[in-house]
Structure 1
Amino acid sequence: MAAAAAVGRLEMAALAWLALSLAVVTAVDRSNFKTCDQSSFCKRQRNVEAGSSPYRALLESLQLSQDSMKIQLINEANKVPLLLELYGLKGNMTRIRINELNPLKPRYEVPDVLVQDPPTTRLSVTGRDDNSVELSLGEGNHKLILTAKPFRMDLLEGRELVLSVNSRGLLVFEHLRQRKDSFSDKVSSTVVSIWDRIKNLFSREPPKEPASEGEGAAEASDAPSSAEQESTEKTEQGEEAPKGASETEEEPGSWEETFKTHTDSKPNGPTSVGLDFSFPGVENVYGIPEHADYLRLRTTEGGDPYRLYNLDVFQYELYNPMALYGSVPVLLAHNPQRTLGIFWLNAAETWVDVTSNTAGKTLFGKMLDYMQGGGETPQTDVRWMSESGIIDVFLLLGPSPNDIFQQYASLTGTQALPPLFALAYHQSRWNYNDEEDVSTVDNGFDEHDIPYDVIWLDIEHADGKRYFTWDPNKFPRPREMLQGLAAKRRKMVSIVDPHIKVDSAYRIHNEIRSRDFYVKTKDGSDYEGWCWPGSAGYPDFTNPEMRAWWSSMFGYDHYEGSMENLYTWNDMNEPSVFNGPEVTMHKDAVHQGGWEHRDIHNLYAFYVQMATAEGQVKRSGGLERPFVLTRGFFAGSQRYGAVWTGDNAAEWDHLKISIPMCLSLALVGISFCGADVGGFFKNPEPELLVRWYQAGAYQPFFRAHAHMDTTRREPWLFGEENKALIRDAVRQRYALLPFWYTLFYHSYRTGQPVMRPLWVEYPQDATTYAIDDQYLLGDALLVHPVTAQGARGVQVYLPGKGEVWYDVHTHQKLHAPQTHYLAVTMSSIPVYQRGGSIVARKERVRRSSDCMYNDPYTLYVALGPQGTAQGELFVDDGHTFSFETKGQYLHRRFSFSGNTLTASSADPKGSFETPAWIERVVILGAGKPAAVFLKQKDVAESRLDFTHEAETSVLTIRKPAVNIGADWSISLR
């Protein structure tokens, strides 16, 4: 007993040391994370040279059904047959699947990410010769030419080549095989060796040299196929079989791989897959988050590929392709003519190489090529490499950026519509100490007149890091604490991580173990690793029964002390394992169905957030919308809540990088993104903190958060002047909540990103392609946060030939396109409203969004060059699914034309009653009318008061006093 206690104390002491070392680290230790050269499959794949593809399509095997084509591919080096399936999908998409024709066992195919089986379109053969076949893809003007040898596919629109598949010959498909040095093989080889030695003793012949261990490779079946037999015969006759991409099975790391002190047993051997895609005429590619890098992807020649492998990276480095917390295997390619997308549906560790024939050329060099009539057509090549699974890839054919967003959303779903409070300001740190601390901070916001909606509790709130519990000394009365917040119409978020303390006195652990819901080791025991509670088990979230049980734990009868205003934060769900390889789970750990962790790794966090969000829905009987923040994510995570950019630092470059990081996520469906305001690590100087609040106020998820070792940084602790600046930034956020909510509704309905790069709205403007220090919110507001220390001004690019933009603070009218220099002070937040847009605001800012719910609206009408404008507003109860299940919502359209502003329904299917009304209309770019009149149905026309500022051409119409749900018109005469 004493010995066990001593071991426990040693374990906890070691854990404490580990946690401390992680906490005080000043920068990520890159040696803890693999490079491509240290990842054996990446190295093998990358060693395959372009132009030497061993694959041939067997045209005689082609089978065409109404909605698919199937054809066999043969690797002429090892004669292993593959099956290629091609589907034309509705909405201008194409799906390509490649698997082994006869695998030894099933290979992992990603479930649950697609929202449905994508509907298909009709395929037809439109041409054929000895080495190729031409297919019509059914929708639009697209056709696909499949060349047999060497195998490649070219997709054309009309006569124009759009993209090519395997044109560089980098298809690699490592087939499942039996290991030659298995125990039975060793026994057999030992018996043969002994028998040979006995024979040699009697024959007096010199002994034969024994074959080296692992020499040769078993094929996919015991009996060789006719093709394999043919290859063997040719070799025996002196004809050497061609060497190709899959002849790499005996390279180091194929069957076992060691990194630092961890050995990966790889019981299935080498199973990686890879394929290349080429985009002629394209120089700009985006996406494949999460990386702390520029928005536009850089070429990877001479360095590591971009890595997609969910990892817990403390204080990550900037501007490199290292993996971070989440992975979305979606890439967008863009030029002035079209936008294309690739969705590589694989949840294993994945690396992405980007190469370009124009990389390194200056703009002058490209212009010189053009003027001289020379130079090659720009082309970007993208190579995907995954450790296991199959090739399952969707080609999104656009042609516009908005088409791409709709196509991807049709596959993986749209951004969930968050409850309104989630779009307001969140206050967090690791950790608010106790209930008194929570109350003091909550009251501090009221005392200093700064609105906020949510206060957060990190891991110290729980009883010994036992999630779903409360520390009995620090948080003895959680319901009373939550009721106090609810009385002020505020919420709380508590952390619930997916590592469960191994403790026989802990109910959650006991239930998971008794139900056999933990991930297993390769030997079949429960997998355990170190995390914040000490020794921890990891629930198998790939198991639907486990997820259902987890969801039930959020019920008010199970999560003691919880209430309707308590929401959830899933951290550490990559999963983080402090003593695991690369601070994560061993790849040979085993999930339900016998699947290895290597197959599902990037899906783990997706399932954690899914189960948590469903738990919040279930606890309300299916009525209330959830709010769940996650650190790890995958394709489809947008359906379940918000993400943030992880453990950043209080540094100017980390503030700057938050913009391209969130823009990259928005491009691949995840709009609800933000960064820890102020930086998680280190202590921000006041200037940096103020600038971060100003930037965060215009990013989708707005939360301040800080490490436990940082000094307290509530907004009122930095002097009156800085407090006033922070208050103003937060109040700007609250005034725009109707606009934010409407943007999220559009994103929920259509898949369009809330926060978007300029090129999305201006796809033909090449100036916008590399801009990632400014962005658009919807299509109406352009934001350029100040992210440089001591900045005196910023250069703002205003796009759109013939368009106009209005400074939202001064109402100055500016003509586009131009690069506008704006002098800034510490109070400046450069924001511009696009001419031709209408934005709804609520300018009576109160302590929380819920307190403002019935307050009146102000409409900002920014006139375009033709004197017109339009905009929309979505209103519902702000927190339930009634907008969807009962049609309880208002979707309003505002239109200004012919000197008349009109309000009408944008969706007559919705109906909702609200007392909110319009108290003011502000028209930017308007002349002074003689009179202003309001007209409503069945009501006599009435005259309205107004003021006009000649210097700025701003017309303010006071108190139309019409309900936000009513139809009306205001005429300027």
Structure 2
Amino acid sequence: MLPRSPPHLLPWRSLVLLFLALAVSSNGVSATAKAKAKAPAAPPKPAGFGYKLVSLVQRPNGGGLVGCLQVKRRSSTYGPDIPRLRLFVKHETKDRVRVQITDAEKQRWEVPYDLLPREPSPPLGPATAGGAPFTAGEYPGQDLVFTYGRDPFWFAVHRKSTRQTLFNTSRAPLVFKDQYLEVSTRLPGDAALYGLGENTQPGGIKLRPNDPYTLYTTDASAINLNTDLYGSHPVYVDLRNIGGRGVAHAVLLLNSNGMDVFYTGTSLTYKVIGGLLDFYFFAGPTPLAVVDQYTAMIGRPAPMPYWAFGFHQCRWGYHNLSVVEDVVENYRSAQIPLDVIWNDDDHMDARKDFTLSPVNYPRPKLLAFLNKIHARGMKYIVLIDPGINVNSTYGVYQRGMDRDIFIKLDGQPYLAQVWPGPVYFPDFINPNGASWWIDEVRRFHELVPVDGLWIDMNEASNFCTGKCTIPTTHRCPDPTSKEPWLCCLDCKNITNTRWDDPPYKINASGKSARLGYNTIATSAVHYNGILEYNAHSLYGFSQAIATHKGLQSIQGKRPFILTRSTFVGSGAYAAHWTGDNKGTWEDLRYSISTMLNFGIFGMPMELYEWQSVARSARNALGMRYRMLPYLYTLNYQAHLTGAPVARPLFFSFPDFAPCYGGQATYARFHAAVRGGREVTVLSDVALGSYSMHKGLVIEKITVLGLHGAGKDLAIQVDGADDATAVATSSPYFAAADAAQVLRQGEEEDAVEGEKRGVTMEVGGLALPLGKSFTMTWNMHIEA
């Protein structure tokens, strides 16, 4: 949105003391030589020594297995071990098995079932109650089989048909403490893994060994590589090529606490700072089957309205309504299609949610503007942040205080700072908080009939850190400040609780930052005593659910909601964007990986000032608009089956192992015009052997920005004239939006003033996709 706050300066400096001890032995051997023989460093203390299985019963009527685990040996690293654990295993469907491990005696935090509906696990109680002893070494389902060891306890999941192991924890002992959970699985070295987001992965979507993977929702710009970003999705897809056939499965650890995931290439280790171990295994065996099974459990991607696939214009800085009106009219005069116009916080009164600036966006004029664009079929979307300005004259704040819906610290609403200045954060886990938000959405829609909402800053983002108060010595915010993102509250760090200073430090913000750094303090409390420490990464998810309910109850149609922060299941309620980045080719390349990853996660979704740019925009958008029925159909398929709209290449070619890397797996095409007449199209093919083996051919090529007729087509394949490609086909030229098709050798009978195409199609080809080629033809270029 706007520049991020710089890191806070530490109030102390490190003092490094260097002691140099000089010692010379009687035989003249130097101190340097003796130093080389120093004793090795002591190995780190193990976090735990594992558990043993002391009982296991099978519940009747397909209710699964319930067992009791006993700690083998105590360890104090990261806190005391939980002595007794409850094991629960159930084949919930033919292709999904659940393995849950939690405290046997005390209810632990887990993702609320009302946020993410799913089958409940059995209540805590005696492990042997209501079941018969289970002594078999395997617990088979239709597709997957659960196996285990008793002492030490470990478990594994394999395919019933091939006995291929998908997950095996025998590599390392299970560790389960109140604020530290650790479990590892073995992996074959040739397994290709994808997922574990959200982060910006410069190497493509395939997980790379020894890269950091930390999951904790954070307002960190997407230009930060390999660090935790806005969403938390603890799921990965594992794709392996076995005997020339690609076989995929997925693993979800349903846990909202912060975690580090360490991937070495032959193992994967979770280190989680709370909650429980709640694993779901999805059998696949194809990538499309995996996302089908995954989204069947977490919720299908929300169906989007048709207009959402059109062209949107959005930026910060439309300081008054006249600027927005000019933008819309300039698009119209330039004949560039525009379906949706957005406002950032410019429309607000002093950046307060659910308000209008009476000076810059007076309601009568805004309503007249909306009537005009709605009559054209256009839509209007505005931004809403979760922070509610602390202001006794502000109705939204007053109603929130009356209903007691804000997150609290030490019995008082937790004070933070974002764009309007001091704010409180609504608690969307609180039923009263959700209903209050739904009512505020309704009130705002009566004020301004918006067509969708953009919910931002919902990680939640905070310009300050710690416990804060409103200053008495200076204004906050300072209306003259040019850096409103700098903290102006009086704050002090919170380090005296185990929630704000846990024993294990995840790699938050890529630098092991405090969990409460620039967000809500983790010792703050939600509804019913729920700690922010546990629910932090659910904040944007819970806000999206409440926003979806609010818009749907008003419009009775498919809502359009765009959210920055996401969690498992967010795709059922909202779309997502990649957050703050730069307008560079490098960032565009990074965004491709993010977009493809979010398809796996179940979340598939000014040019007019220069005439030449406007023409290019019409050309590019013209192609996009011709594809809208196709994109809309893909979105419908995503809603039915979870199939991503944008898919990695291995979704289409899962048997082709070289495409698993996610890079250098495309045929790239380059077009150039010389002398105003000669057009050359070059192809650069990577991994073409697969295409040759499958006999894939190119039947037509479309080039943007050409205007006129083509002739004198010549083709070279791998540097040699290829008469076969032409002889076995019937090449033709056509403008994509013209009815006339010109066969090779025919002349155009042009009509003066006739509308010409903005794209040129060369069709009727039979070019082998696996080979590089050059195509050349002559034409009159008008643009």
Aligned-partner Cα distance in 2 for 1:110–1:783:
46
Aligned to 1:726, the other structure's residue is in SS state helix
Aligned-partner Cα distance in 2 for 1:754–1:921:
33
Match of 1:280 among 188, 192, 199: 188
Give 2:695's aligned residue. 802
Write the letter of the residue equivalent to 2:271. M
Q: How does 1:114-193 map to 2 (within 5 A)?
A: 114-117=116-119, 133-140=136-143, 142-158=144-160, 160-175=163-178
Quote the offset at 1:821 in angstroms.
Answer: 9.6
Quote the offset at 1:143 in angstroms.
Answer: 2.5
Report how many residues are paired: 605
Aligned-partner Cα distance in 2 for 1:584–1:31:
17
Q: How does 1:68-467 map to 2 (within 5 A)?
A: 68-78=64-74, 80-103=83-106, 106-117=108-119, 133-140=136-143, 142-158=144-160, 160-175=163-178, 271-280=179-188, 282-293=190-201, 294-301=203-210, 305-314=212-221, 316-318=223-225, 320=226, 322-337=227-242, 338-356=247-265, 380-467=266-353
Match of 2:437 among 530, 547, 550: 550
Kindly provide the CA deviation profile for residues 454-487 of structure 1, in whole angstroms up to 9, marking residues without a partner as x. Answer: 1111112100111111100000032112112112
Quote the offset at 1:552 in angstroms.
Answer: 2.2
Aligned-partner Cα distance in 2 for 1:138–1:56:
24
Write the letter of the residue equivalent to 1:350. M
Quote the offset at 1:336 in angstroms.
Answer: 1.8
Kindly provide the CA deviation profile for residues 307-335 of structure 1, in whole angstroms up to 9, marking residues without a partner as x. Answer: 111111136323x2x10011111111111
Give 2:469's aligned residue. none
Give 1:592's aligned residue. 527
Give 1:518's aligned residue. 406
Aligned to 2:541, the other structure's residue is in SS state helix
Give 1:686's aligned residue. none
Quote the offset at 1:730 in angstroms.
Answer: 1.6
Aligned-partner Cα distance in 2 for 1:783–1:593:
56
**1:485/1:629 CA distance change after superposition, 3 Å:** same
**1:62/1:575 CA distance change after superposition, 3 Å:** same
Aligned to 2:437, the other structure's residue is in SS state helix
Aligned to 1:163, the other structure's residue is in SS state strand
Quote the offset at 1:721 in angstroms.
Answer: 2.6
Give 2:764's aligned residue. 953
Write the letter of the residue equivalent to 1:588. S
Q: Are positions 1:62 and 2:57 aligned together?
A: yes
Aligned-partner Cα distance in 1 for 2:377–2:44:
60
Give 1:694's aligned residue. none
Write the letter of the residue equivalent to 2:534. D
Give 2:490's aligned residue. none
Write the letter of the residue equivalent to 1:515. R
Quote the offset at 1:509 in angstroms.
Answer: 0.5
Q: How does 1:719-798 map to 2 (within 5 A)?
A: 719-772=610-663, 795=685
Quote the offset at 1:162 in angstroms.
Answer: 1.5
- Preserved contact between residue 274 and residue 384 of structure 1 (Cα < 8 Å): yes
Aligned-partner Cα distance in 2 for 1:796–1:464:
54
Quote the offset at 1:29 in angstroms.
Answer: 5.5
Quote the offset at 1:49 in angstroms.
Answer: 5.5
Quote the offset at 1:62 in angstroms.
Answer: 3.5
- Preserved contact between residue 279 and residue 333 of structure 1 (Cα < 8 Å): no
Give 1:631's aligned residue. 564
Aligned-partner Cα distance in 1 for 2:563–2:323:
25
**1:763/1:288 CA distance change after superposition, 3 Å:** same
- Preserved contact between residue 253 and residue 279 of structure 2 (Cα < 8 Å): yes
Q: How does 1:486-497 map to 2 (within 5 A)?
A: 486-497=374-385
**1:626/1:335 CA distance change after superposition, 3 Å:** same
**1:602/1:792 CA distance change after superposition, 3 Å:** farther
- Preserved contact between residue 49 and residue 173 of structure 2 (Cα < 8 Å): yes
Which segments of 5 or more consecutive residues in structure 1 lack a partner in the other structure?
A: 1-18, 33-45, 121-129, 176-270, 357-379, 673-713, 776-781, 812-819, 823-841, 845-857, 859-919, 927-948, 956-973
Aligned-partner Cα distance in 2 for 1:950–1:388:
58
Quote the offset at 1:543 in angstroms.
Answer: 1.3
Give 2:452's aligned residue. 567
Q: How well do the aligned residues superpose, as a CA RMSD in angstroms? A: 3.5
Give 2:77's aligned residue. none
- Preserved contact between residue 295 and residue 664 of structure 1 (Cα < 8 Å): no
Aligned to 2:596, the other structure's residue is in SS state helix
Aligned-partner Cα distance in 1 for 2:233–2:658:
27
Give 1:901's aligned residue. none
Aligned-partner Cα distance in 1 for 2:546–2:591:
28
- Preserved contact between residue 499 and residue 537 of structure 1 (Cα < 8 Å): yes
Aligned-partner Cα distance in 2 for 1:644–1:164:
32
Write the letter of the residue equivalent to 1:612. T
**1:646/1:56 CA distance change after superposition, 3 Å:** same
**1:636/1:784 CA distance change after superposition, 3 Å:** farther
Aligned-partner Cα distance in 1 for 2:230–2:4:
20
Aligned-partner Cα distance in 2 for 1:545–1:783:
54
Q: How does 1:564-713 map to 2 (within 5 A)?
A: 565-580=450-465, 581-620=516-555, 623-672=556-605
Give 2:421's aligned residue. 534
Kindly provide the CA deviation profile for residues 5-30 of structure 1, in whole angstroms up to 9, marking residues without a partner as x. Answer: xxxxxxxxxxxxxx9xx7287xx869
**1:118/1:749 CA distance change after superposition, 3 Å:** farther
Aligned-partner Cα distance in 2 for 1:803–1:785:
20
Quote the offset at 1:560 in angstroms.
Answer: 4.4
Give 1:779's aligned residue. none
- Preserved contact between residue 95 and residue 283 of structure 2 (Cα < 8 Å): yes
**1:950/1:413 CA distance change after superposition, 3 Å:** closer
Aligned to 1:408, the other structure's residue is in SS state helix
Kindly provide the CA deviation profile for residues 139-165 of structure 1, in whole angstroms up to 9, marking residues without a partner as x. Answer: 13x332211112111223346341233
Write the letter of the residue equivalent to 1:291. N
Give 1:943's aligned residue. none
**1:72/1:554 CA distance change after superposition, 3 Å:** same
Match of 2:397 among 498, 504, 509: 509
Which segments of 5 or more consecutive residues in structure 2 lack a partner in the other structure?
A: 11-42, 75-81, 123-132, 466-515, 672-680, 705-716, 720-734, 745-759, 767-783
Give 1:217's aligned residue. none
Kindly provide the CA deviation profile for residues 197-247 of structure 1, in whole angstroms up to 9, marking residues without a partner as x. Answer: xxxxxxxxxxxxxxxxxxxxxxxxxxxxxxxxxxxxxxxxxxxxxxxxxxx
Write the letter of the residue equivalent to 1:280. P
Q: How does 1:465-480 map to 2 (within 5 A)?
A: 465-476=351-362, 477=364, 478-480=366-368
Aligned-partner Cα distance in 1 for 2:523–2:319:
39
Aligned-partner Cα distance in 2 for 1:648–1:659:
13
Aligned-partner Cα distance in 1 for 2:175–2:522:
21
Aligned-partner Cα distance in 1 for 2:8–2:282:
35
- Preserved contact between residue 69 and residue 86 of structure 1 (Cα < 8 Å): yes
**1:54/1:483 CA distance change after superposition, 3 Å:** same
Aligned to 1:809, the other structure's residue is in SS state strand
Aligned to 2:257, the other structure's residue is in SS state coil
**1:53/1:409 CA distance change after superposition, 3 Å:** same
Aligned-partner Cα distance in 1 for 2:703–2:604:
29
Kindly provide the CA deviation profile for residues 412-454 of structure 1, in whole angstroms up to 9, marking residues without a partner as x. Answer: 1111110011111110110212111111100011111110111
Kindly provide the CA deviation profile for residues 762-786 of structure 1, in whole angstroms up to 9, marking residues without a partner as x. Answer: 11101211124778xxxxxx99899
